[in-house]
Structure 1
Amino acid sequence: MGTGYPPQQPYAAPPRRSRVWMVPVAAGLGVALLATTVWASTSMVSDLFGGPQPETVLPASAVVFAKVDLKPSGGQLANYAQFVGRLPDSIQDEIDPEADPAEEVVSSMVDELGVDMDYEQDFEPWLGRRFGVAAWPAADPAAEASDGLAVAFALAVEDEDAANAALGRLEDEAGGFTFEVRDGFALLAPNDAALTELRGEVDRAPLADDGAFAQDMDVVGGDSIAAAWMDVEAAAGLASSELGEAAEATGRIAIGLNIEAEYAELRGDMFDVGVDGVSLGDYATEDRGLELMGDLPDDTVMALGANGLDSVVERLVAENPEDFGDVEAALSEVGLAYPDGLTQLLGTRTAVGVTDPQGLLSDFMDFGGTGSSSTPSMQLRALGADAAALEDIIAQSSANSYEAPPGVNTDGDAVVVSSGTSGTGRLGDDPVYQRTMQGMEEASAGFYLDLRPFAEDAGESGPEQWGSMGGSLTVNENDASILARWAPSGGG
């Protein structure tokens, strides 16, 4: 049909309740597509690369945007295939590489609407592999879907004539939306007013041409299998006008789900985000790196590491004395003065690891079915902490205990508090840890979870294939980045 706007038939908007199906259907479609990356790497080999993205047909005035992209580039395709090969056998056995992830969602939608349409005949021939949704401030009250926002969905189209025929029939028989096919996408909106407003907004400027949006998407991953974006300041301003409340918020948030050869990663970035004059940069620390977490014993199952906890707590107390007023009292009870006692206790760099969860692991897996009360083996490493102060606190807390108290030692500049037994090697030398935490070396904080013992306790036939999970937080002067990653070890 080309790139023009097809004429629309007169449309009488149905009651608002009939539009509700659009939201769960879109959400369900996104979830199903995200969960089936294998399909993207094994299907549609011909004409697989290139083509427009949803942001080219959705407006730059959007305050919220999300998309799913299952038409990968060549590099993505190779990464998908390698990552799938690393999945545990028990997961790979459940995967049907020939399954179309959209079929179940669309078929369920059709059944719910009571429309006599078939996925393979009416939808599969034209439905593309990219999907997007955007919400923008509605200029026309008739275009508003909720809370002052208009909304539209973009579905990639492989055959415009077939898309017009199928969606036209669905519109006639089910109602609750209107549509047009434009520039390689079917654009769905709740009513004609929203669709008309969408046209004008996109003609003025598509979201793809917005410099801040493009820059943010590049940071979280330009080839993300799924992404979301929000203009925090615009959304907060809209909420203020709708709710009559002052919302002092600034900045933007971007999220991307990326599949690499060795891991799947969810990344979230906050740019110039601030609330009521408090910026994320206020909590930035010049002390970077997760070396102390890597110095934990090599049999560590769970680990947390952070830099500058003492200064962060001190700032929180200063900003919210009514919420953290008991910090000074708690330090006083163990003979430490505020604020120096924070550093004596936590150090300037802190890492804690559980090496042998024992009862903790059993309780986690069967919700306390063993009745175990054993204390897990743990190690705390604190750079810049006071060994004498920690020894005094431990002595006070274990005075009436029958269990052996944790030991306090030093390792270079770090104070080491150990309970139970642990390995003699370094966690940072474990190849599984290295693969999971690669690229996070300069983070401000991090976490690590070895999935292998949990999989073994759950009776998995190949527990070593589950690898580990890890993540990090990096806070800079004007932005912050959060990573969450799963690195399975199957097939390699």
Structure 2
Amino acid sequence: MSAETPPGASFPESPDPDRTIEHRTPQPGQATANDAHTRQLPYGQAEELGFNAPDGTEGAPAKRGRGWLLAAISAIVVVILGGGGVWAFSQLSGGGTQPQEVLPGNAIAYVRLDLDPAANQKLALLTIARKFPGIKDSLSDDDPRKALFEAIKGDSPDLAKVDYAKDVEPWLGDRAGLAVLSSGAGKEPDVAAAVQVKDEAAARDGIAKLAPGDEYGLAFRDGYAILAKTQAAADGYAKAAPLSQNAQFSDDTSAVGEPGVMSFWMDLGELADMSGAAATAAPTALESIKDMRFAGALRFDGDYAELTGITRGGAANTLKGQPVKIAELPASTVGAISLSGLGDGFATQWPKIQQAAEATPDGQTITKSLEQFQQLYGISVPDDIVTLLGKSLTIALDQEGLDAQQPNVGAVLTTDPVKAQAVVTKLEALLAGSGTPLQLAKKPGDGQLVVASTQTYADKLGTKGTLGESESFKLAVPDADAANYAVYVDLDKLEPLYLSGLKGEEKSNVQVLRAIGLSGNYTDGTSMTLRVLFN
């Protein structure tokens, strides 16, 4: 969907005609502020659009030294996503230098928070905020950084004498980034922070008041204050080749797409080495992430919040999934999880699992217990487990019968139905012998077996449904037909279970929540998209 201009917003002639919004290629289902080509977006004296944290916001006491910056970053997340609002929009530019352009390029982990993202992100956040009564009522043109500062300040005696208007507002910008740099295996990592500033001299004085008596290094680069453990480190970071020139970082973050309000990147192999995990972790586990990187972003659309991430590099994925069929569930489905490739994956990993178990001090005991279990119950491991997991496994809960003593819950196993039914019978016998009898309804089909709490629901699951035609489902689980795994929860359908216990504004805010979806792939690396939908 496209972001719409919020009611009441106006865009007078820009006093700086050369200032434009950087063009970004929109991701599927995301709004964009630009047309196919870069264009100017007037800014400047536009009506301020924003959110203000409500009175009484509480925050943890600020930490001393470098801890105050980490507390600030955490508080920014709370301001963006919490019960207050977000920020005041005096302009919709979203342009300018980003933290990765000033932090050192040898970082092994990086997180960025942007209170001045692209215009489409600002408008989407405003649209979402107006859906929540608690936030809508607090929309104002106040400076949200002040509310943020007060939340960080709390009752800290170190910050009691710091005045926001005098000591912070004159220099504090809208962006911050944090980079973790390896100092060697098993050693405490180095950390470099970049905070956007408007006035270097004021920033130097203000930061000194925020960290009285603490030792830290401070340097400046392209409109940012670079903070480090020592002055020598800060000076070195300010002169180093930036992270934005790191080819792996650039490729990975470009693959994620729109960076949104928050983005992150890390080299998992380097982090494992730095943490000393190599001394305790299994060699096979370390090998799988040796060259693996992870990148992601938090971004918004007018209908949902989206957290997306990808992995690249590392060992070849042993899971070779096929597209799941979660979209073929009944339209009355309340929640479902669907996974593919688990059967083959378990079969591939079983020898390694056995080898790891046998290498432990209790290895012989584990092996003997497993043999006794198989002889006693006739369940073969790994064969019977592989049969149950099959090519894909989908578990679903239906809206009908939610308030009944026996809800409609079931599973669709894409596998050999004859073999699977025999395994289910063994499991029923196992449960009966343990004093918890369970009789499942079954419906075999072409290449699948359906098991459910009732025969009526088993028959329903055995017939191709139309969940995929639901607008909520299509928004929550994008590209469901190509996903190797997916999760979907329709919160609107679940409301009867919990809404009656809520009142007033709390009830109204909960009613805004519409659905949650998670989907992704694990071929050629992995990808993940988590969406929270709003009514």
Pair 1:84 & 2:120 matched: no
**TM-score when normalising by structure 2:** 0.71
Question: Structure 2 vs 1, CA of residues 455 and 328 (structure 1 numbering), >3 Å: closer, same or farther?
Answer: farther
- Aligned ranges 1:234-253 → 2 under 5 Å: 234-240=270-276, 249-253=290-294
Q: 3-state DSSP class of the match of 2:291? A: strand
Is 1:51 paired with 2:87?
Answer: no
Aligned partner of 1:199 among 217, 222, 238? 238
Are the equivalent residues in 1 in contact too, given 2:219–2:225 (CA < 8 A)?
Answer: yes
| 1:230–1:37 distance in 2 versus 1, CA, 3 Å | farther
Match of 1:367 in 2: none
* Cα distance in 1 for residues equivalent to 2:295 and 2:174: 21
Please report the RMSD computed on the Cα atoms of aligned residues, expressed in angstroms. Answer: 3.7
- Change in CA separation of 1:214 and 1:164 when aligned onto 2, cut-off 3 Å: same
Corresponding residue pairs, total = 440
Question: 2:59 — aligned with what?
Answer: none
- Show the counterpart of 2:245: 209
- CA displacement at 1:68 relative to structure 2: 0.2
Q: 2:4: which partner in 1?
A: none
Shift of 1:332: 6.3
State the SS of the aligned residue for 2:483: coil
Q: Deviations over 1:375-396 (max 9, x none)?
A: 4321211122324425634663
Percent identity at matched positions? 22
* CA gap 1:216/1:329 in 2 versus in 1, 3 angstroms: farther
Tell whether the 8 Å contact from 1:469 to 1:485 is kept in structure 2 after alignment: yes
* Pairs within 5 Å for 1:2-151: 19=65, 21-22=67-68, 24-35=70-81, 43-46=88-91, 48-85=93-130, 87=131, 89-90=132-133, 92-93=135-136, 95-98=138-141, 100-110=143-153, 112=156, 113-138=158-183, 147-151=187-191
Query: What CA distance in whole angstroms lies between the structure 1 residues aligned with 2:237 and 2:468?
Result: 52
* Letter of the structure 1 residue corresponding to residue 395 of structure 2: V
Alpha-carbon shift at residue 346 of structure 1 (Å)? 2.9
Provide the rounded CA distance (Å) in 1 between the counterparts of 2:68 and 2:191: 10
Q: 1:95 to 1:418 in 2, by over 3 A?
A: farther
Which residue of 2 is the match for residue 257 of structure 1? 298
Task: Report how far residue 119 of structure 1 moved.
Answer: 1.3
Paired amino acid for 1:221: G
Cross-structure match for 2:513: 466
With the length of structure 1 as denominator, give the TM-score of the two structures: 0.77
Distance in 2 (CA, whole Å) between partners of 1:384 and 1:445 is 17
**Aligned-partner Cα distance in 2 for 1:74–1:36:** 21
The equivalent residue for 2:385 is 342
SS at match of 2:292: strand
Residues 115, 170 of structure 1: 8 Å contact kept: no
Aligned mates of 1:330, 1:311 — CA distance in 2: 23
Compare 76-85 and 259-268 and name the one that shifted more.
Answer: 76-85
Does the CA contact (< 8 Å) of 1:377 and 1:419 recur in 2?
A: yes
Q: Is 1:381 matched up with 2:412?
A: yes
- Per-residue CA deviations over 1:221-240 (Å, capped at 9, x if unaligned) read 33221112112233333345
Instruction: Report the equivalent of 2:25.
Output: none
Query: Distance between the aligned counterparts of 1:344 and 1:137, measured in 2?
Result: 45
1:259 aligned partner, one-letter code = F
Do the aligned partners of 1:38 and 1:80 also contact (CA within 8 Å) in 2? Answer: no
Higher relative contact order (CA 8 A, sep 6+): 1
Contact 2:216 2:229 in 1 (8 A): yes
CA–CA distance in 2 between the matches of 1:241 and 1:408? 46
Name the residue aligned to 1:266: 307
Structure 1 residues 168, 337: closer, same or farther in 2, change over 3 A?
A: closer
User: What does residue 466 of structure 2 align with?
Assistant: 426
Deviation at 1:452, TM superposition (A): 2.5
